[in-house]
Amino acid sequence: MPPLAPAIEPLLSLFVLFAAAKLGEEVFERLSLPGLIGQIVAGFLIGPGVLAWVQPSPILAFMAEVGVIFLLFETGLKTEPAEMVEHGYIATAVGFFGVITPLAAGWAFAWAIGENAVTARFVGTLLVATSIGITAKILTDFKALDTAFGRVILGAAVLDDILGLLALSMLTSFASGRSHWLNLLLTVAFVTLFFVLVLLLRRTAFPRLRHRLGKLRATAPQWSFALVVLLGFSTMAAYIGMAAIIGSFLAGMFVGEEGEVATALGARAEAVSSFVVPFFLANIGLKLSPSVLVERHSVMLIGALTAIAIVTKLVACSLAALRLGPRSALLVGLGMIPRGEVGIVVADQSLSIAAIPSAYYSIGIAMAVLTSLIGPILLRLLLRPGGDRRERSEQC
């Protein structure tokens, strides 16, 4: 076979990676497992570590960057800050203790085994977030989104994601060498101000702007504006030293709203994400190192971090939700276990921080994958027996 033309080779890589990712997603969904895990596994199988059909390349890296930006943008669109207020202090307590406990435990564990300060902070940050998407899908499957524990899980997961991204921003600032406490406090203050400003403008300026957008003659003005905000916020976040994904998450929160416009924006975002996000997830698998995953020390670390990730979320969140009753509290704890897409995003950031050993990339991805498999399985087992219809009418 003659060698491929320079223009064909990247297209072939995109084709093979995308097709494999969607096939992996379909297989895992049919097994009632998170589709995003199937996309990562597909990337791993066709990558240099196994079949070697596709090699990492600049164009795949670029598509992966676009994919993760849209992934967090779509997460922001689905994030309703009012949920935290509506469900009161229980969701807030679950979210807060569900962040502080794994953060402290991960940090202490990494410090105890002799890791450097940046790596210890990374491990703590890695264990923080909860996947809204994975747990929400399971609750939807069992028609449990409208239960007391379902609403608490979603509200707490919103807070988890916000605090998790804030922790990631602090980690990036610390790792950049600007590790003076004043700089860290300024980073926290700036990110917090960024969040508050976005939420304030979302309620004040954006509704008035929305009416004017409807008068524009350009194609899909609402969607075009959302993309401008997405790219603008992502660029702004990167420019001021935060991760670009924080800007994309905030952009989703900013343009997210209710009604027909929200439905249209959500449909367009889902359509774009269905194309670009698989490149991010499959590219994650592409970069996984088989040698790290089978190396004895790495396997022990994966097991330890997965255990810490499960126990800290389960115990802290269940105790914070005890007011709902023992069974509902346990369901809340189980629902907060999956790290999913946000944990994967944090693990991916480790490659850009020189002080973190490269093995922690594969270790972090493995932990996020395992929690995203174990959490849903346990949650399904507890939900399946009777569903306890009485809880569907409970209110926080």
Q: What pLDDT, on the 0 to 100 scale, is given for residue 1?
A: 42
Q: Is the pLDDT of residue 293 over 70?
A: yes
Domain that holds residue 127: 12-393
How long, in residues, is the chain?
Answer: 396
Q: What pLDDT, on the 0 to 100 scale, is given for residue 389?
A: 47
Does residue 4 belong to any structural domain of this protein? no
Q: What pLDDT, on the 0 to 100 scale, is given for residue 156?
A: 84
Does residue 318 belong to any structural domain of this protein? yes
Q: Is the pLDDT of residue 105 over 90?
A: yes
Q: Is the pLDDT of residue 202 over 80?
A: no
Q: Is the pLDDT of residue 95 over 80?
A: yes
User: What average pLDDT does this structure show over 155-168?
Assistant: 77
Number of H helices, E strands in the chain: 18, 0
Q: Are 321 and 332 in contact (CB under 8 A)?
A: yes
Tell me, letter by letter, the H, E, C secondary structure of 219-248: CCHHHHHHHHHHHHHHHHHHHCCCCHHHHH
Alpha-carbon span 343 to 162, nearest angstrom:
13
Q: Are 24 and 279 in contact (CB under 8 A)?
A: no
Q: Residue 1: CB partners within 8 Å, gap ≥ 6?
A: none
- Specify the number of domains making up the chain: 1
pTM of the model: 0.74
The model's confidence at residue 382, banded by pLDDT at 50, 70 and 90, is confident
Alpha-carbon span 104 to 95, nearest angstrom:
14
Q: Residue 217: CB partners within 8 Å, gap ≥ 6?
A: none
Percentage of residues in the chain having pLDDT higher than 70:
80
Q: Which residue has the higher pLDDT, 142 or 173?
A: 142
Does residue 2 belong to any structural domain of this protein? no
Alpha-carbon span 161 to 149, nearest angstrom:
18
How far are the Cα atoms of 314, 364, 371 from residue 303, in angstroms, in the given order? 16, 11, 11
Closest by CA to 312, choosing from 179, 147, 124, is: 124
User: What average pLDDT does this structure show over 100-126?
Assistant: 93
Alpha-carbon span 140 to 144, nearest angstrom:
6
Q: Which residues of 52-81 are buried (b: 16+ CB within 10 A; e: fewer)?
A: eebeebeebeebbbebbbbbbbbbbbbbbb
Q: Is the pLDDT of residue 290 over 80?
A: yes
Does residue 3 belong to any structural domain of this protein? no
CATH code where residue 156 lies: 1.20.1530.20
Does residue 177 belong to any structural domain of this protein? yes
Does residue 185 belong to any structural domain of this protein? yes
Does residue 214 belong to any structural domain of this protein? yes
